[in-house]
Amino acid sequence: MRKLEQVIPAQPVQDGDGVNIHRLGGRRLQQLLNPFLMVDEINSDDAADYIGGFPEHPHRGFETITYMKAGRMRHRDHMGNEGLIGAGDVQWMTAGAGVLHSEMPEQEQGLLHGFQIWLNLPAAEKMKPAAYQEIVAASINEQQLAKGGKVRVIAGDVTIDNVLVQGQIADATTQPVLLDVLLLPNEIVELQFNGEYSANTYVYKGKTDLLAEREMGIYGKGESLQLTAGASGAELLVLSGRPIDEPIAQYGPFVMNTMAEVEQALRDFQSQEFLEKLTRL
């Protein structure tokens, strides 16, 4: 069994136009999340916490995974791509060489609950053309558990209590695993995926026997990950993937391998030729 090695609480921060979120990120945590870079959670029924959204901003050098649990978010970019994701949907965006995009709530009231997860790209892929994969809720494979819980397999091939379930994302260099797990009170699930990669779990509701709400558990290598819900049940994300053994240089929305590459991204963004370069890719 994988062993829990560290527990890290999410930190309340603001991003975008005054959006209140809980974040797991930072340089130290990047090494533990590798190949993931950051996990952000928005969860509020107060429009003041989210209505400002994330106006147009750039990205380069990594992928963003937006996963909605409740509410709706609209995406637009400089190339004319536009999409709306609602409860249970996923947008998997490869920023690659760069995008200018916005992510804005498609509602003025009610509950908005979702996650944005940053997934690093290796150096050989950081400057590839931007791409999108929209994954609608109905297409995500789910495995019902014996006592009433369930596991949604967004990415990766995972054995859940001895049943193999396949996710949507295939042939990615980082071999990501992304699961959304719902456990009823005191329910136990056993998950198996690549045992050579570490695994991380983020409890966003309830608690497990080892983790409280809004805590991330860093688990070591091993053949199986066993999760046990507390007395009130638990809802959590599970993340794993192939580590990228390369240096990380980050400045805000740019994640490269050297500061020289980051500085080039800044120059590109400030240049009038930025959009033209990206559109030609």
Question: What's the one-letter identity of residue 57?
Answer: H
CB 236 within 8 A of CB 7: no
pLDDT digits 0-9 by tens, 49-106: 999 999 999 999 999 999 999 999 999 988 788 999 999 999 999 999 999 999 999 9
The pLDDT of residue 281 is above 60: no
Domain range summary for the chain, segments of one domain joined by + = 4-240
Q: Kindly indicate the confidence band of residue 269, based on its pLDDT and cuts at 50, 70 and 90.
A: confident
Q: Is the pLDDT of residue 29 over 90?
A: yes
**Residues in CB range of 92: below 8 A, 6 or more apart:** 63, 64, 65, 132, 133, 134, 135, 155, 169
Query: Looking at per-residue confidence, does 168 or 115 come out higher?
Result: 115
Q: How many CB atoms lie within 10 A of CB 143?
A: 20
State the maximum Cα–Cα separation within the chain, in Å, rounded to a whole number: 58
Check residue 60 and report its DSSP letter: B
Per-residue model confidence (pLDDT) at position 278: 59
pLDDT band per the 50, 70, 90 thresholds, residue 24: very high
**If we measure between CA atoms, which residue out of 1, 4, 53 comes closest to residue 217?**
4
C-alpha to C-alpha distance for 162 and 175, rounded to whole angstroms: 21
Distance between CA 257 and CA 7 in Å, rounded? 28
Q: What is the mean pLDDT of residues 106-124?
A: 97
CATH topology of domain 4-240: Jelly Rolls (2.60.120)
Give residue 78's region: left, alpha or beta (phi > 0; psi -120 to 50).
Answer: alpha
pTM, entire model = 0.95
Q: How confident is the model at residue 280 (pLDDT cuts 50, 70, 90)?
A: low
Please give the C-alpha separations between residue 142 and each of 138, 171, 178, 182, 219, in angstroms, as whole numbers: 10, 21, 12, 11, 23
* CA distances (Å), origin 276, targets 207, 273, 280: 49, 5, 6
Q: Give the mean pLDDT of 154-159.
A: 97
Q: Which pLDDT value is given to residue 273?
A: 63
Cβ proximity of 265 and 60 under 8 Å? yes
User: What residue type is 254 in one-letter code?
Assistant: F
Residue with tokens 């507390």, as numbered in its chain: 230
pLDDT score of 279 more than 70: no
**pLDDT, tens digit, 9 for 90 and up, residues 223-266:** 999 999 999 999 999 999 999 999 999 999 999 999 999 999 99
Q: What pLDDT sits at residue 136? A: 97
Q: Please give the single-letter amino acid code of residue 263.
A: E
Is pLDDT above 90 for 276? no
SS3 49: helix
Closest of 94, 47, 92, 98 to residue 253, by C-alpha: 98
> DSSP state, 196?
T
Residue with tokens 């609608």: 136
Amino acid at 182: L
pLDDT in tens, 177-218: 999 999 999 999 999 999 999 999 999 999 999 999 999 999
Does the pLDDT value for residue 271 go beyond 90? no
> What pLDDT, on a 0 to 100 scale, did the predictor assign at position 171?
83
Residue 61 pLDDT: 97
Query: Distance (Å, rounded) from C-alpha 107 to C-alpha 51?
Result: 8
pLDDT at site 157: 95
Specify whether the CB–CB gap between 160 and 167 falls below 8 A: no
